[in-house]
Amino acid sequence: MSYLRLPHLHDDLLCFVAEDDLWLAPLEGPGRAWRLTVDRTKVGHPRFSPDGRHLAYTSWRSLVPEVHLTPVDGGPGRQVSHWGSADTRVCGWTPDSEILAVASHGEPFPYFTWAYKVSLDGDPGRKLPWGPVSDIQVADLDGERKSLLLTGTPPHEPASWKRYRGGATGRLWLHGERLLAGLGGHLHSPMFVGGRIAFLSDHEGVGNLYSCAYDGSDLRRHTDHDAFYARHAASDGTRVVYQCAGDLWLVDDLSPDSEPRRLDVRLSGPRAGRRPYQVAAAQHIDGISVDETGRAGAVAVRGSLHWLTHRDGPARTLTDTPGVRVRMPEMLGASGRVAYVTDAEGEDAIEIASLPRASGDREPRRLASGVLGRVRELVSDPEGERLAVASHDGRLLLVDVAEESDGEVTELIRSINGPVRDLAFSPDGSWLTWSHPGIGRTLRQIKMARLAGTAGDRFVVDVTNGRFEDENPVFTRDGRYLAFLSWRGFDPVYDVHTGDLSFPLGCRPYLVPLSSATPSPSR
């Protein structure tokens, strides 16, 4: 499959953009397209010249977009504008074979794009006198040259701001007269087509192709897309071609009974966007868990899991299945096993893998498939017998991952205000602490759960009352205190430069003794 966009047409030839290159293809029948440019950079908005011999297009080959020209029969292209404007865009051609473009160079604001005419002899372009416009078309009507302008549009296309109904939906002008003032939707891609004005609009909910008479009357709808917007329409004066969901569509004329048809275009040659390439693993590390010796660790890289020694030796693959993503590696104590989250069956599950050994590798063991929800955090107890899992739906789960267990899942608590986070076990594994979401956007409280003994002996303790934003709880090494961060400092000080009040010490670490016999650290 290929994503085809920004089409234009001339006679029986179609031009479009795919894989950041211009392509040409026969308009009728299934035909193989061929590349016209190989600039290895972003290109856009190709427009055939009136005689069909050249294509003007926007290219980012010089880092900012500029107007470029290339012959349709092939050959090197050349740059014809040197404005240095980030908003330069080719709009079309005049009947006299001059390029129409918009750019904002020399303007106080980048969204003030003015229309320009650029000839092919290398002149710097002539600024047209209509003020800020976002699109322009010029045609000879009844022996008189007239301009079609689109003004007042946002800096992005309608498909990126669906069903916006504010003041930046665009205004359409035909030679100084405004058309369709009360339409109430986005306007885009104005065109002269077969004695009418065609354009894209989403005033009925989804972007489709419409047309009207020169005076704005007789509004017609020509397409009926209801899932994806019609985008980037262009015309040769008779037909309209446009993009919808990565496919190209053609409307042969603007008669009331005309039906759009999808064009069958196949790209020839290998897909550059799908070619294999090497990536730097250091820039794509998703997670790491170090064993208790500190000499090696399990490292997740782009959905695969590898075992790395920290000084020398080879990197060994624990799991790397195409189409399967693993994440959140967690060493299970000194058991020689590592746990991680996998989506091999679609839903998140826990998988337990043994570390590489000279005696041979054991097959991973999969647990709790489909009952965890989307795992947001995973932490192991010190012995590697249990995993605490924070799910996206607010559940805090305990998963038994002992060698002889069947992966029993126990729900410790459920939050109705969002997912829990910052899980941490006590040094002896008998307690679990976490940051629990409270009522409000940022309020959180610290909670603890007793895990020792049978399931009936488990209970939850509130460490803080939820009035502040408390997070990142952790037990001290001796297990006597619980440390956490809290945003509860409300002592403002004056900034020495501006005189404004601020709270530079709003967040501080706090320590809570876990036994009445433990002295308070403040004494």
| Tokens at 307, concatenated | 């075992």
pLDDT surpassing 80 at residue 78: yes
Contact 152, 130 (CB under 8 A): no
- In the 8-state DSSP scheme, what is residue 235? E
Low-confidence winner among 226-230, 294-298, 492-496 (lowest mean pLDDT): 492-496
In whole angstroms, give the CA distance from residue 10 to residue 32: 17
Low-confidence winner among 318-322, 444-448, 518-522 (lowest mean pLDDT): 518-522
pLDDT surpassing 70 at residue 523: no
Q: Going by C-beta distance under 8 Å and a sequence separation of 6 or more, which residues neighbour residue 283?
A: none
**Mean pLDDT over residues 157-166, rounded?**
90
Highest mean pLDDT among 34-38, 89-93, 442-446: 89-93
Q: Which amino acid is at 5?
A: R
In whole angstroms, give the CA distance from residue 391 to residue 212: 54
Sign of CA dihedral 96, 97, 102, 106: negative
The 10 Å Cβ neighbour count of residue 91 is 25
pLDDT one-digit tens code per residue, 49-68: 999 999 999 999 988 999 99
Query: DSSP letters along 311-340, please?
Result: SSS--EEEE--TT--EEEEEE-TTSSEEEE
Identify any residues that bridge with 26 across adjacent strands, giving them in sequence order. Answer: 13
The domains located in the chain, with CATH, are 283-414 (2.120.10.30), 417-523 (no CATH)
pLDDT surpassing 50 at residue 359: no
pLDDT surpassing 90 at residue 224: yes
Helix H or strand E encompassing 118: strand 114-118
The pLDDT value given to residue 504: 77
Residue 119: band (very low, low, confident or very high) from pLDDT cuts 50, 70, 90: very high
Low-confidence winner among 167-176, 272-281, 307-316, 380-389 (lowest mean pLDDT): 272-281
In whole angstroms, give the CA distance from residue 61 to residue 42: 7
The four Cα atoms 172, 176, 177, 183 give a dihedral, to 10 degrees, of 10
pLDDT more than 90, % of the chain = 71
pLDDT one-digit tens code per residue, 408-420: 999 999 999 999 9
Radius of gyration of the chain from its Cα atoms, rounded to whole angstroms: 32
